[in-house]
Chains A and B, each alone.
Chain A
Amino acid sequence: MSLVRRSARECFDAWRKHVASVIASTLTKDQQVGRVEVSPTVESLEFRAGAVPLKTTVGSVYFHFMQGLRAKAVTNREFNLELMKYSYRLQIRDISVAGEPLFRWEYEFDDQGKHTTRPHLHVGEKVQLELTNSTLDISRIHLPTGLVTIEAILRFLFSELQVKPRCRDWLDLLAASERSYYQHFAFGF
């Protein structure tokens, strides 16, 4: 099932409300989720400030996310929301060319379904896996994933990197938000 509304604007509003609510209730209420208009039917969702600094087990980490959305007319009175691209990124430095990314979860719609644009994960930057006769740069390869939800990223931050959640019942809130996602949005490929 995917979201259907009477206008592109209603589609974008419903999705932003979903994402902004789960971030505000579990991670931060100081960093607002903003909508950037590309065209009347294409928008981007991201932190207004760009990146959010977080205290983790490995020191300060910056969380950056972008979601590219398209509202597609299915009839002249119905629009369907599609997730066309996402990037969830954790890195050591704030916005900089060097970056030092830790993890990058990425997806980009591609009607040819290429491996490199399907949902995938990059680990680190220049991370070499030493093999018997060669080395493999783990950061360059695209490790396949399923579609990664914002709730999954938040759960990872709280569980694995010990980011302090805003509330004690964050597990329940994330589960409820994820249920809502699968019930009302559930983007397909």
Chain B
Amino acid sequence: MAVMREKLSGLWNRAREALTGWVVPSCDVAADESADARLERLSYQWLGCSAAEAYNRLDAGELGDSVVASTLRHYRFLRSLDDGQRIR
């Protein structure tokens, strides 16, 4: 039954894509990346340093209102959320 449903879903998606050019995005079961891994990767890619060093530069005011700064602040904020409570 599950196999049949999957086949029908695939056929429907291909038909819709052929008719409208709209690709139905896949919906992953798991997240694509962990925040730690992404921050470390982006810090090296953007600044050539570790995430810890990137946060030091952020706190020293070196990064201004850049995307880099925005991203680091984004993850710092999200880490401060814990099971429905903001840690202050």
Residues on A with C-beta less than 8 A from B77 are: 68, 84-85, 108
Known contacts A111-B86, A167-B20; is-contact A68 B78 (Cβ 8 Å): yes
Whether, in the assembled complex, A122 has its beta carbon less than 8 Å from a beta carbon of chain B, the answer is yes
Select from chain B the residue with minimum beta-carbon distance to A101. Answer: B65
Residues of B contacting A25 with CB < 8 Å? 22
* A155 proximal to B (CB < 8 A): no
CB contacts under 8 Å to B, within A66-80, are 66, 68, 70, 72-73
Once the chains bind, are B35 and A36 in contact (CB under 8 Å)?
A: yes
A21 to B65, CA, bound (A): 30
Instruction: Name the interface residues of A1-60: CB closer than 8 Å to any CB of B.
Output: 9, 12-13, 16-17, 20-21, 24-25, 29, 32-39, 41-44, 48, 50-51
Q: A21-B24, A29-B23, A68-B81 are in contact. List 7 more A-B contacts (CB 8 A).
A: A24-B24, A36-B38, A39-B79, A89-B67, A95-B45, A97-B62, A167-B21
Which residues of B are at the interface with A, using a C-beta cutoff of 8 A?
A: 20-25, 27-35, 38, 42, 45-47, 62-68, 70-71, 74-75, 77-79, 81-84, 86
Taking beta carbons and an 8 Å cutoff, which residues of A are in contact with B? 9, 12-13, 16-17, 20-21, 24-25, 29, 32-39, 41-44, 48, 50-51, 64, 66, 68, 70, 72-73, 84-85, 87, 89, 91, 95-99, 101, 104, 108-109, 111, 122, 125, 166-167
